Amino acid sequence: MKTFDELCKLSKDLYFEPFVIKEFITTEEHDFCLKTFDESVQFDPATHGKAIRKDSQMHTDFGPSRFKDIFLPKLDSIFETKSTCVGSNFTQWNSPVPIHTDGYQLPYVSVGETEQNEEILGFAVIVPLRTDTGKGNPTTVMFNQTLYGGGGNFGGPAHPKDSEKITDLGLIEQYTNKAFDKTDPDYHYIDHLSDEKLHGFSIDTVFNWNMRDAIVWHRSQFHCSSKFVGFNNKTHLVFLCNFKMDET
Ligand SMILES: [Fe+2]
């Protein structure tokens, strides 16, 4: 059995720069996703003040087969390294999510801490679906900073189970330990965040939400939502994937 540090090292070895896959889903698949979101029941354990979450169950044995038929081959084709989808949900954000990694967002189907730590933290895939007004220019802001392993949450838990908060800033790679550089031309995307929450961070890339595209990043990489302008909520489908242990 690998130690936590060994798993973090394996995850770090598989780091990649975030990127976009144009037209990840077809217009028909987009319609199917929106219809499924609208018809699905709210997933209460992962719903909170900032967001309504609906579990796609795509990653479980009980998930809708059409979802699996559509998405599992797409997810498998993203990386040569074998991966497994460990979580998937629709989320309608009613306010911008603060800076975090997706390390903490381990499968919220009930899995023990020890089992979680045996996963090699992999990648997140977001498929933007819509804004409530059909207007606005939502973006996802990626930062240069990373934290390998679980627990990368600033600004309070995104939902009640995301209880791990960062206590040792020394674990964050490329943490500047300086005030955020407000001369950054992309600062306006995140000027709703306090100086305290931005401290130590620097922007890597800003990804526009082009509906039907996919935005892919390593789950260790810090990111957040830009402020909402021209819409009140935005909805995406997200897949959380881990890399599989090389058993050779
Ligand atoms: Fe996230």
Q: What is the mean pLDDT of the chain?
A: 84
Q: How far apart are CA 39 and CA 64, in angstroms?
A: 13
In a domain, 10, yes or no: yes
The predicted structure's pLDDT at residue 235: 96
Decide if 163 is inside a domain. Answer: yes
Rounded to the nearest angstrom, the distance between the alpha carbon of 68 and the centre of ligand 1 is 22
In tens, the pLDDT along 133-172 reads 999 999 999 999 998 876 555 544 343 334 455 667 778 8
Residue 222 maps to a domain: yes
The enclosing domain of 96 has a CATH number of 2.60.120
Under 8 Å between Cβ of 83 and 244: yes
What is the 3-state secondary structure of 10-34?
A: HHHHCCCCCEEECCCCCHHHHHHHH
CA of 73 from ligand 1 middle (Å) equals 22
Spacing, Cα 150 to ligand 1 middle (Å): 12
Which residue range(s) make up the domain with 152?
A: 4-243
| Alpha carbons 206 and 19: distance in angstroms, whole number | 10
Asked if the structure places residue 71 within a domain, the reply is: yes
Distance 125 CA to ligand 1 centre (A): 10
pLDDT per position as a tens digit, 94-143: 999 988 888 765 444 433 344 545 678 889 999 999 999 999 999 999 99
Q: What is the pLDDT of residue 167?
A: 63
Amino acid at 235: T
Is 118 part of a structural domain of the chain?
yes
Q: Looking at the domain assignment, is residue 181 inside a domain?
A: yes
Give the integer Cα–Cα distance in Å for 5 and 212: 36
Residue 36 included in any domain: yes
CA distance 126 to 198: 23
- Which pLDDT belongs to residue 103? 78
Share of the chain above pLDDT 70, in %: 81
Nearest to 212 by CA among 38, 23, 18: 23
CA of 234 to the centre of ligand 1 (A): 14
128, 34 Cβ separation under 8 angstroms: no
More confident residue, 204 or 60: 204
| Beta strands 234-243 and 51-55, pairing class | unpaired
Give the chain's domain count: 1
Using a cut of 0.85, tell me whether the model's pTM lies above it. Answer: yes
Please check whether residue 39 lies inside any domain of the structure: yes
Query: DSSP H helical segments within the chain, as ranges?
Result: 4-13, 27-39, 65-76, 113-116, 195-198
Q: Rounded to the nearest whole angstrom, what is the distance from the C-alpha of residue 94 to the centroid of ligand 1? A: 15
Q: How far is the CA of 91 from the centre of ligand 1 (A)?
A: 11
Nearest to 213 by CA among 10, 24, 62, 64: 24
pLDDT at 4 over 90: no
Lowest mean pLDDT among 61-75, 110-124, 223-237: 110-124
Q: How confident is the model at residue 86 (pLDDT cuts 50, 70, 90)?
A: confident
How many angstroms does the Cα of residue 53 sit away from the middle of ligand 1?
Answer: 13
**Pairing mode, strands 139-146 and 203-208:** antiparallel
Cα of 66 vs centre of ligand 1, distance in Å, is 25
Token pair for residue 239? 């897949």
Distance 248 CA to ligand 1 centre (A): 32
Q: Are 124 and 217 in contact (CB under 8 A)?
A: yes
